Amino acid sequence: MDRKIKSLKDLTKTLDRGMGYEAVSKIVSDIEIPFEDIEPYCTWSDERYTRTQLHKTEVYELVLICCEPGQSSFIHNYDAQEGWAKIVKGELTLEQYYISAINGHIHPVSKEVLQKGATAYQNDYIGFHKMYNSGKERSVSLHVYSGPVEKWHIWDEDKGKAIEIDPWFDQKFDL
Ligand SMILES: [Fe+2]
């Protein structure tokens, strides 16, 4: 990342993101791994997108997400952790949500289409979001969570509130 901090607001925002933000952002933007190296770890399901744990330490977790066209994550946020994504194949759309403190209603506030090579960043201050494959081909993305996400909060549309779940994995490796 070659971004300069040009205001106090920008400085506090950057610090609020955590001391590892710049370093991990640089690493994620530097990823240029050939897809052939990633493909052997991919797994697919007609039911929902798949999550493969590639590596986990106390500090971070590296996850591979494979999404058929149209498949989507829940609307979710993390357990006060941060997450970076790198699109290595296909297209994903990242949708951010706003939850009203008055009536608990949730609605989308922004949408960003990410193509192969793009990066994205999320934390709980940014709030609830979901990612879905908005393209015509399969999508594959790498995700770095710092620290590892032990709990998710997903938005239960029927109940109109957030519920806590444990992240699941379809496969686990220790690269
Ligand atoms: Fe996420």
Distance 106 CA to ligand 1 centre (A): 17
| DSSP sequence for 96-131 | EEEE-TTT--EEEEEEEEEETT-EEEEETTT--EEE
The tens digit of pLDDT for each residue in 71-92 reads 999 999 887 688 999 999 999 9
The C-alpha angle 57, 121, 135, rounded to 5 degrees, equals: 110
Domains in the chain, number: 1
What is the extent of the structural domain holding 23?
Answer: 8-172
pLDDT grade for 157, boundaries at 50, 70 and 90: confident
Distance 159 CA to ligand 1 centre (A): 21
Distance 96 CA to ligand 1 centre (A): 10
Read off the pTM. Answer: 0.88
With respect to residue 132, please indicate whether it lies within any of the assigned structural domains: yes
With respect to residue 66, please indicate whether it lies within any of the assigned structural domains: yes
Distance 112 CA to ligand 1 centre (A): 14
The predicted structure's pLDDT at residue 103: 79
The predicted structure's pLDDT at residue 147: 82
What's the CATH code of the domain at 123? 2.60.120.10
With respect to residue 2, please indicate whether it lies within any of the assigned structural domains: no
DSSP summary character for residue 168: -
With respect to residue 1, please indicate whether it lies within any of the assigned structural domains: no
The yes-or-no verdict on residue 101 having pLDDT over 90 is no
The C-alpha angle 137, 65, 172, rounded to 5 degrees, equals: 140
